[in-house]
Amino acid sequence: MSVPIGILFDMVRKVTPAQFKAAVNKMQRQQKQAVDKYNREARRHNAAVKKAVGDYNREVRAYNAKARAHNAHVRNQRRRLEQEIRRLNSRPAARTFVTYRSSVETLAHTYTETEESLAGRTVSPAGRDLLDRGSEEAANSAYLLNAMDGDGATEEGPSYGRCSTPTSRHSGASRPSPSPDPSSSEHLSQEKPR
């Protein structure tokens, strides 16, 4: 069914040019308001994303700084142990400390084997802390044997310092914090991705 043209023209509302201009202006204002609202929401969203990325990157930088410091400590301790064992092996075995020397060599060998067997495996923070203490104990024992044999380094030496003792090492407030990451062979060999 078709509508006659005369009725169709009567159905169309007649508008004056001023009314048409007002209607166009109103539609333009509404469109501008919608665009402005969208832009505000987009800016708010982008600011939230930028803040989240900044917070994450700050956390990654802090984590990586702790990881680098911890790794440096582990490398220094390992280097110290290797140096003490080299010094110990560079001299003939003294007759007076044979049992202790055997004990020190066994401790160093066991620590090295344990560390190699755990390389690349996930280790709990407590397990990692125990492994770190094993490294320190092996180095301290080798240092003590060298000192008892008359070949101890001065306490001011760059790689030796004082041996860690149970009282200085574990006295309440000075107890060290656990390792930052228990899952890598050098404790934290990879940094978090950005």
The angle at the Cα of 73, spanning 169 to 77, to the nearest 5 degrees, equals 75
User: Residue 194 above 50 pLDDT?
Assistant: no
Alpha helices (H) in 12-124, listed in sequence order: 17-89, 98-118
What is this structure's pTM?
Answer: 0.50
Direct distance between the N- and C-terminal alpha carbons of the chain, in angstroms, rounded to an integer: 68
Q: Which residue has the higher pLDDT, 60 or 151?
A: 60
SS (H, E, C) 147-187: HHCCCCCCCCCCCCCCCCCHHHHCCHHHCCCCCCCCCECCE
So what's the pLDDT on residue 117?
A: 84
pLDDT tens column, 129-172: 888 888 888 888 888 888 887 765 554 444 444 444 443 333 33
pLDDT tens figures, 81-140: 888 888 877 877 666 677 888 888 888 888 888 888 887 888 788 888 888 888 888 888
Confidence at residue 90, expressed as pLDDT on a 0 to 100 scale: 81
> What pLDDT is recorded for position 43?
97
12-45 tens-digit pLDDT: 667 788 988 999 999 999 999 999 999 999 999 9
Contact partners, residue 118, CB within 8 Å, separation at least 6: 127, 131, 185
Tokens of 90: 């560079």
Question: Mean pLDDT lowest for which of 43-57, 62-76, 127-141, 174-188?
Answer: 174-188
Q: What is the pLDDT of residue 166?
A: 40
What is the structure's pLDDT at 9?
A: 54
Tell me what the mean pLDDT of segment 45-52 comes to. 97
Long-range interactions of 70-74: CB distance < 8 A, separation 24+: 70/179, 70/180, 70/181, 70/187, 70/188, 71/186, 71/187, 71/188, 71/189, 74/132, 74/135, 74/186, 74/187
**Regarding predicted confidence, which is higher, 101 or 57?**
57
